[in-house]
Structure 1
Amino acid sequence: MKFFLWISVITLFAKSGCTSSDSGKPSNEPLENQIVQIAFYNVENLFDTINEAGKNDGEYTPGGKKAWNTSRYYEKLDHLNQVLASIDSAGELVAFGVAEIENIKVLKDLVNTGFLKDRNYKIVHQESPDFRGIDVAFLYNSKQIKVNNSQWINVDLQDSGRTTRDILRADVTWKNEEITFYINHWPSRWGGKEKTNTKRIAASQALRNNIDAMKEEERNNHLVIMGDFNDYPNNESMLKILKADSLETGALYNATWPAHKNESIGSHNYKGHWGMLDQIVVSNSVVPFVDSVYVFKKNFMCYKNKKGEWLPSRTHAGPKYYGGYSDHLPVVLRLKSKK
């Protein structure tokens, strides 16, 4: 299999915008003239209904502030499956990263209900030290992808008194290619962008150190870095520390940079302003494989506010229950190969 070597422009657009247990070895058959998709989705607090000791999850119980119950939980699972099924309408989705999930139980419930049931999805997950009790995970079609190794990169917030999510690294084989995925959910801006900036710098440095260590080992894996970075492509953590560039010729290319320049596109909307908090960064070696990168938006995932703007339909706003999908939109990477 030979991949395209001539693709010079990576496009990013809003797709259909809101306007109105292993069951076999991974296949090594060449994927000729076809597309595969890899996604990232911050699913907005996918918690079960059980108060788990040592976790700050009391509000996500039937008696908690959010009155989170079994009916609402399964409605949330159905909503997420609806989104993933829509992304995979052409049967192209092979893997996705998620953020804001509570534990392995909710991940197993997710892959065993609705669209994902019987799709051969396996899970890479570990409980993180996050003070809120939320984690990241990597889910993949085991018929397509083999995970060779996984590790969790600790983010040391030093004297902040808080803990945050680990960065998940998964080394995989796909179609005889060696790829390393990094799934991120960096510290939020809660309390102010400048005041919390050092936390995201710490996360970025931890990721950068791991990438550099891989280089020192002379491992030439392709890199796909995805996540909710709680920063934008031009912020210090992304541009100066991680060195995810706007140029395709750089060692790391931020494929979501074009959307950052388009004020009408974003994965998250804050007070009426779109922004690319959720991003996909790839190594230079992946650029020739890329067909496009897009923010996935459908009418069913959105609501129309009083100004006539279509915004992500969220599950909660504070204690108020809206019964939506997530306050973030997924970002999707399309990879193309050919003889």
Structure 2
Amino acid sequence: MSIINVAFWNLQNLFDAVPSEIAADLEFTPENGWTEAAVAAKIDALVEGVATMFYGRGPDLLGVCEIETAGLLARFTQALNARLGRDDLTFAHAESPDLRGIDCSLIYSSDIFEPAGVPVGHIVFLRFRTRDIFEVSLRVRETGAGLVVFVSHWPSRSRGTLQSQPYRITVASHLARRVDAWLKLPRARVVAAPLADLTTDMDAAWNRNVLVLGDLNDDPFDISVLSELTATNSLDKLEEDLPAPGDDMGARERYLRRTPALYNMSWKPLGIPGEGTMFFSRDTVRTKQVFDQIITSRGLVYGRSGLRIDPLDYTIHAPRLLWTNQALADDAPRHMVRPKRFDPETGRGYSDHFPVTCQIVTVGMA
């Protein structure tokens, strides 16, 4: 059995200092204090934050969002390798036409994983093109087990929570369709062949390893996550095997309409007063939010396809280093423990989000 360390972190506006139209619009330019020195300080700070994960080993799989370019991602990954004393971290990236010019990406260990397909950034067209849903298919070198990772950053609440909610529901629906594409067989194949001949392949798809990492700008109980993505904290639907298919059109329709349930590990901290991954109080009575989430397929929960994840192994990684107020007592109320955003003037700070972590273990193939 091998352990794979997993993390997700919203890096908060990791732009380079190269002039661009988007950067100018958002004031990330040298004239506004976003200099090469600020970029270097920001990268150094983020690397130090990552180095506090997993007892200094760092993650083997790190989803990130709010990073501007592949060149900047390469620089960040190189700095991670140097700081962690590793040489195996590499990355997958696809430039997206997001209005704000920031992308989702995945850093992974080339010792543990190999690519199993071409990474794809899926763009959801709302009034404006929104941040991509980044899809990466990997294979564990040791066992051959597959893992599909989605890194996603959903539309913000800057227009107001209720006004922007339809945008997040739309992106959630698109992500759900991509998840369905991995966990179910294509309609054309289901219609063309006797279902009895597809049973083995249907079960294999239903139990694939799918992992969703992201800043969803909604809490786990919001409609976009709970209802549209069907990511819940209940095992009731997750534990259901596919029923033995009949061979009539009704059975085909039932299969095609069936919605795979996902398990959202991020419900765990919701019972702790004041706990969360970031501070947001613009138009809600909740001030700490659990926007940064880890969501898994049933295959990962039950170890059906060579990898297993403990559904309770979700941690908000909030070491004192990342706190806004480091003078707080260790047992300070959680609503007072807030992530320290980066200040380009002082070169101090990290991100306005805490990272989240979990672990995956390799198991025998079912």
User: Which TM class, normalised by the smaller chain length?
Assistant: 0.7 to 0.9
Structure 1 vs Structure 2: percent identity of aligned residues?
Answer: 28
* CA offset digits 1:3-57 (Å, max 9, x no partner): xxxxxxxxxxxxxxxxxxxxxxxxxxx52xxx32111000100011011246655
- Give the corresponding residue for 1:310: 337
Q: CA deviation at 1:106?
A: 1.0
Deviation per CA, 1:266-303, whole angstroms, max 9, x where unpaired?
Answer: 11122482210000000112114224110001111112
1:96 alignment partner AA: L
Q: For residue 42 of structure 1, what is the amino acid of its counterpart?
A: N
Q: 1:207 to 1:141 in 2, by over 3 A?
A: same
Tell whether 2:124 aligns with 1:110. no
1:239 Cα deviation after fit: 0.6
Q: Between Structure 1 and Structure 2, whose CA radius of gyration is higher?
A: 2
Q: Deviations over 1:197-243 (max 9, x none)?
A: 11101100110111222212453421110100000111110011000
Q: Which amino acid aligns with 2:121?
A: W
- In 1: Cα distance, 2:223 partner to 2:24 partner: 30
Task: Tell me if the contact between 1:183 and 1:227 (Cα under 8 Å) persists in the aligned partners.
Answer: yes
8 A Cα contact 1:263 1:273, kept in partner: no
| From 116, 121, 142, the counterpart of 2:110 | 142
Residue 329 of structure 1: aligned partner: 354
Instruction: Tell me the CA shift for residue 322 of structure 1.
Output: 6.8
The alignment partner of 2:152 has SS state of strand
Deviation at 1:264, TM superposition (A): 2.9
Aligned to 1:279: 293
Residue 157 of structure 2 aligns to a residue whose secondary structure is coil
State how 1:1-339 maps to structure 2 within 5 Å. Answer: 30-31=1-2, 35-53=3-21, 59-64=27-32, 67-89=33-55, 91=57, 93-113=59-79, 114-115=82-83, 118-149=86-117, 150-157=119-126, 160=127, 162-174=128-140, 175-214=143-182, 215-217=184-186, 218=202, 219=205, 220-249=207-236, 250=238, 251-271=261-281, 273-288=287-302, 289-291=308-310, 292-304=313-325, 309-316=336-343, 323-337=348-362
Which whole-Å CA distance do the structure 1 matches of 2:169 and 2:23 have between them?
Answer: 25
User: Alpha-carbon deviations, 1:52-97, whole Å to 9, x = none?
Assistant: 2466555111102xx1111111111111111111114253621110
Identify the residue that residue 194 of structure 2 maps to in structure 1.
Answer: none
Cα distance change of structure 1 residues 117 and 108 upon mapping to structure 2, 3 Å threshold: farther
3-state SS of 1:105 partner: helix
SS at match of 1:63: helix
Q: Tell me which amino acid in the other structure corresponds to 1:326.
A: S
- When you count helix as a share of all residues, which structure comes out higher? 2
- Greater strand percent: which structure? 1
For 1:18, the equivalent position in structure 2 comes to none
For the structure 1 residues 129 and 336, does the alpha-carbon distance in structure 2 shift closer, same or farther, using more than 3 Å as the test?
Answer: same
| TM-score with structure 2 setting the length | 0.76
TM-score normalised by length of structure 1: 0.82
How many residue pairs end up in the alignment?
300
Q: 1:286 to 1:56 in 2, by over 3 A?
A: farther
For 2:62, give the aligned amino acid: F
Contact 1:232 1:260 in 2 (8 A): no
Q: Cα RMSD (Å) of the superposition? A: 2.3
* Gapped regions of structure 1 (runs ≥ 5): 1-29
